[in-house]
Amino acid sequence: MLIHLNIAIPNSTDMLLTYLYDTMESQINLIGRRVLVPIGKSNKLHNGYIVSVLDKYDGEYELKYVAKLLDDEPVFSLKLLEFCKWMSNYYLCSLGDVLKAALPSSMSVQENVNIKLAIDLQETDLIELKRKSIKQYEILRYLENHNKFITLKYLESKLKFSISKLQLDSLKSKGFIELSTELSEQIQPKYVRTVAIVDELMQDEEELQRIINKVKKSSQKQYSLLLFIYSLMKERNKSIMVNEVLQKNQSSLSILNALKKKELIKFDEVEINRYFVDSENMLAKRDESKLKLTIEQENSLLKINQAVNEGKYKTFMLFGVTGSGKTLVYLNAIKNVLFKNKTALLLVPEISLTPQLIDRFNIVFPNQIAVLHSKMSDGERYDEWRSIKSGDRKIVIGARSGIFAPLDNLGLIIVDEEHENSYKQEQPDPRYNGRDAAIIRGMMENAVVVLGSATPSIESLHNANVGKYELLEIKHRADGAKLPKIKVIDMVDARKQKQIINSFSKELLDMIVDRMNKKEAVILFRNRRGFSNYLQCGDCANVPECVNCSIKLTYHKNINTLRCHFCGYSTNVMKRCSECGSDDFKIVGYGTQRIEEELDEYLRGMNIEVVIDRMDLDSTKKKGEQRKILQRFANGETDILIGTQMVAKGLDFDRVTLVGVINADLQLYISDFRASERTFQLLTQVSGRAGRHRDYAGEVIIQTSHPANYVFEYVAKADYDNFFKKELSIRQKANYPPFAKYIFIELKGKDSDELEKLAWEYYLLLANKKSNLIIYKPVVPSVFKTINFYRRIIIIKSKKNSKATAELSNVLSEVSGEFSKLANASNIIIKVDIDSYSGV
């Protein structure tokens, strides 16, 4: 039967494309599957997703056929597909882009082009080709050394330039090369060879023992290997990987084959999950779900469980101070969800998704958890996705993109540290907020949503206060522990009193020495990696900037490199200033590397031997390094841990009694209406790492040059309520969220003058529409250039209701169409960020 399918294509327009497909299958069972479809005159194959079946087609174009159906079953359930449609509509991006983001990147099918020479090359041909096209000449010269097909990707990597379709078509039309194409998924399930004792012997214990004793008499090595396989199978109740058997038993494949020849063992190929849980080096040591709950924890858990048991959507705001045991509430709530034969999703900010947190859950729920985050390999992410989709894993712990986890019968969604701005996707599309999306998915699936934080976002607590969410509070730390004492150090005054040594106040250094003498642990926070902020010429004050961005280059002393932390550009430190030729460079500011070096030097000068570790993006680049750093700190092998935001959240170590914030001003004075809120949250969160056990009192030192700022007053008093009231009042007067929607429109172009002109054209198109939108004129942002593109920003504010949302969508859609008709408009890239977290 010939049917019409509506298909969403990634990187396409908002429109769905219609294709023909001949099938006898149920039409409803086709929705949510992946396909390959031809597009354009070249009929190049693209990945697509079936989103609906049409009863009839009334269009004017001749339809093409689906080239290939990629799945036997839908990869998107109807509920998950509806959720993706909502995301596309709300965040104003194509449905194809949303669906692509919802799947592991390795599930996109690629068309691989293979190339080889078609003839024996003549020197005269090569001389002529070199004169006309040096790139085509180099392609043929390289192919001369290969008799078989090689992939285009491999050829480009060797020649170090990209090869266009026009170049290949030209060489093919001249008869120089042959081309072939093949389709392949980027990743496939992984299989390993396993070994097991044959079933008849495993089912007859007496006969097996007789055989083992018999083998012992004839071959000690075979006996040792057979006994080892038997002991592992008894322990695990499954076959064992051949590599593991040979490595741990220090045996050989020939001995294994000898046992196979005697028909005592059998081999098999078994699919494995590439995501490895290191059960021998857990950062958590106990099943925390067995701990006794406090009265506040019990009350919160009771409300959550009641809502789950009713099977209706509801959102809770769980407001608990640092160390109050919110995780214990999560663990017990998930236990109840599993008892009800439902599934659970725990979202955590990427930066808080530490091995310690995962281990705490794995101890309580062994072999039931799937993990999804950006540091996983393509293979690991693909395997975890398959384990969720198959129903093998009932619990998912993931960063922002975990909101797309293919869980069926979803009962509970927890968004931990819900205030974190890392839940907001900045680029590419879809630019969604994982917390807000979690609320919508919970609503669509009749699931309970819990937003947890010690420092709730202004928006979320406001929603709780006006009755959109139910507020649950835990005002005391668990285990009788007390909140740490917080002291704010005025660095301007300390400098006048000569009480500063390098980056440290003398008071903070004295407290660090005290903790080292007591054999307690210290965490130092500085939200900038590298050795210093930047280098500056001592003669002309020139500061090296990125060649691609309007950003100062950060100095990394250990590799003698200047690096842009935005685009990744790096260069060796120059010997002379590019402006005046001076060789006098000053180190300005300080990053985590410099703090580590200065502190180590100071303590050695005091004859105090300590071990200092650093945890930032530079020190954790290597896979598994973050776990090793935390393992050393947990075991007491490290005395002081210095880091960026990676140490501010999610860490729970009893022995930490002092936290030092080296510079609390870094985020406070940026051009962002959320700057004060973010600073308060970050300082409160990092302070919460201290004194988490009742036997160890915690102290916090915050160094600032602006101690009179109200943020520090409220942080020092742990007074979130009054901070919230003050901040809410400021937002209301300025008409910022939660009282309005905040839309951030970024226009980018290669030519600054052209961009300026077209940004104003875009603004005038917006301003001339009759609407209730508040539209601000284009501005030049502080970072006016990124990756060789100049930037302009237009801000829009609108009311927070469905009518205003629809109005915004219509206005932007109309303006987009009108703007595209202007001269040179195609040179401008426009990105619309709904509910943006970006600052100007």
Task: Summarize the confidence of residues 675-699 as an average pLDDT.
Answer: 90
Q: Is the per-residue pLDDT at 413 higher than 70?
A: yes
35 — alpha (psi -120 to 50), left (phi > 0) or beta? beta
> For residue 510, what pLDDT band results from cuts at 50, 70 and 90?
very high
Task: Summarize the confidence of residues 622-648 as an average pLDDT.
Answer: 89
How many angstroms separate the first and last alpha carbons of the chain?
55
Q: In 498-544, where do the E strands start and end?
A: 500-501, 504-505, 521-525, 534-537
Sheet with 44-54: list strands edge to edge: 17-22, 2-8, 44-54, 34-39, 68-69
Sign of the four-CA dihedral 356, 360, 362, 363: positive
Q: Is the per-residue pLDDT at 694 higher than 90?
A: no
Residue 449's beta-bridge partner residues? 315, 413
Give the per-residue pLDDT at 558. 74
314, HSE (Cβ side, Cα atoms, 13 Å): 16
Task: Summarize the confidence of residues 135-150 as an average pLDDT.
Answer: 89
Residue 711 host element (H or E): helix 710-716
**Residues 827/756, Cβ–Cβ less than 8 Å:** no
3-state secondary structure of 203: coil
> For residue 363, what pLDDT band results from cuts at 50, 70 and 90?
very high
- Please indicate whether residue 354 or residue 621 has the higher confidence score (pLDDT): 621
DSSP collapsed to 3 states, 266-332: EEEEEEECCCCCCHHHCCCCCCHHHCCCCHHHHHHHHHHHHHHHHCCCEEEEEEECCCCCHHHHHHH
Q: Is the per-residue pLDDT at 532 higher than 60?
A: no
How is residue 540 annotated by DSSP? T
Task: Summarize the confidence of residues 664-678 as an average pLDDT.
Answer: 89
> For residue 280, what pLDDT band results from cuts at 50, 70 and 90?
low
> For residue 51, what pLDDT band results from cuts at 50, 70 and 90?
very high
Q: Is the per-residue pLDDT at 590 higher than 80?
A: no
Q: Is the per-residue pLDDT at 12 higher than 70?
A: no
What is the pairing mode between strands 534-537 and 554-556?
unpaired
Give the per-residue pLDDT at 60. 79
Q: Please give the mean pLDDT across all residues of the chain.
A: 91
Residue 126 CB: number of other CB atoms within 10 A? 16
**Residues 192/273, Cβ–Cβ less than 8 Å:** no
Q: Is the per-residue pLDDT at 352 higher than 70?
A: no
Short-list 512, 485, 516, CA closest to 697: 485
> For residue 221, what pLDDT band results from cuts at 50, 70 and 90?
very high
Task: Summarize the confidence of residues 651-664 as an average pLDDT.
Answer: 91
Highest mean pLDDT among 342-356, 553-567, 589-603, 718-732: 718-732
Give the per-residue pLDDT at 104. 93
Angstrom distance (rounded) from CA 446 to CA 424: 24
Q: Is the per-residue pLDDT at 7 higher than 60?
A: yes
Give the per-residue pLDDT at 529. 57
Its pTM surpasses 0.95? no
Q: Is the per-residue pLDDT at 572 higher than 70?
A: yes
Place of tokens 């012992």: 216
How is residue 65 annotated by DSSP? B
Angstrom distance (rounded) from CA 407 to CA 343: 7
Angstrom distance (rounded) from CA 325 to CA 331: 10
> For residue 542, what pLDDT band results from cuts at 50, 70 and 90?
confident
Angstrom distance (rounded) from CA 18 to CA 52: 10
pLDDT digits (tens, 9 = 90+) for 184-220: 777 888 889 999 999 999 999 899 999 999 999 999 9
Give the per-residue pLDDT at 220. 93
Give the per-residue pLDDT at 278. 66
Give the per-residue pLDDT at 745. 97
Give the per-residue pLDDT at 533. 67
Provide, rounded to the nearest whole percent, the portion of the chain with pLDDT above 90: 65
Q: Is the per-residue pLDDT at 606 higher than 90?
A: yes
pLDDT digits (tens, 9 = 90+) for 794-817: 999 999 988 999 999 999 999 999
Give the per-residue pLDDT at 165. 82
Angstrom distance (rounded) from CA 93 to CA 572: 40
Task: Summarize the confidence of residues 13-20 as an average pLDDT.
Answer: 86
Give the per-residue pLDDT at 705. 93
| Alpha-carbon radius of gyration of the chain | 31
Task: Summarize the confidence of residues 532-555 as an average pLDDT.
Answer: 83
pLDDT digits (tens, 9 = 90+) for 59-69: 778 899 999 99
